[in-house]
Structure 1
């Protein structure tokens, strides 16, 4: 029985799968984890309970992406605008980040997952930065799923930061004006070592990107769901991927 399970896992064919074409699994999936507050409100619970429930959803989705062979998973965990939320809620989110990293890093490491972050993390509390660094150092040499936590991330801020760095390199004559094109610009983004997301998912019923991967998502397929993030499980992810596999991605060209 163990040998059979190992074979099924290796070949990514499991009984709970929704007829996915395993040759067309998105290489990079990005998710806007929205709806924690709504989930809690529907149950007359404090918002903090919704965020805790959202962490459980992260565990399930990370494992499922790893099982399906997704190479990059980028989770929108804390935006540049989220600092405007009540201090108590922000503190709760920072504590949850530390708890998640402390509890999960060993299992993530065993499963060959790399823990990475994108965004201006210099503004995060010191303990958050330390745990992020510890998780990265422990997992940096792994070869499996790359888990990107977007923290203090904003698409516009990312583009502005890139422009500042390019301007500095121009002044210092490290590059010339004629070298600047889309390919070069992408190298100055937080995601410089990664492919653009094939699929961007947003649960909770909202139909917008909310300042997430604005440059990288130019030709990403978008998938929206009314389900709040804490209730977003493996089946919903599989449904999103199945829908993605039915789409005709032309990137502005004509087939």
Structure 2
């Protein structure tokens, strides 16, 4: 008769087996951005998700071209997997000289349109450019689950990931990419990346942003207050006020630019028609 010293404790929770990484997904690495640590970004994105019935935005710095559009024609659902960055944040992300609030995006059917009213997308600016303007992009995502909770997916091995369109290995500078993943590749040696949370691409999935407004003065105060709210109701009220003030600033900036173009010394006064 075989005996064992092991005794089963019915109160011990059974750990679920980690889920396998999907064969095609959008992978983005996240960290400190626009002066905010990732922990704080996740808290406000969870409020944004709650205000949008599961839909939220995620700003990214690199373009995905038309790969998302092509993939959405082939697959009914595409996951977005979010992994913490391994490298420490750069000084320009921790303490940016300028912050931008993005108001619009480019839609294939309707041109430049407003972002959904519950969304907040910011980025650091480049003071060497007019209005700090630089290219910035975003993912439209949807999740029915709290995104601050840890995912049950197994870790991602970067050696198993290839660019969706070209099948080339991922470049070191690719923070966000649409990838194909080979779960059965046995020679992978890359240190794996944990998956903090997952979502689905929603709507267009990937967008190019437009109409950045520099966050200064009253906008800076409203932005700070919004980032400290703790309920969905507070988020909805706070983002409404912030966006309203930003739109007012956009109108003022447009009027000032028009006046500047009329009286610009480099061009001389512009004669108005009688």
Could you state the TM-score of these two structures normalised by the residue count of structure 2? 0.20
Larger-gyration structure (1/2): 2
More strand by share: 2
Could you state the TM-score of these two structures normalised by the residue count of structure 1? 0.21
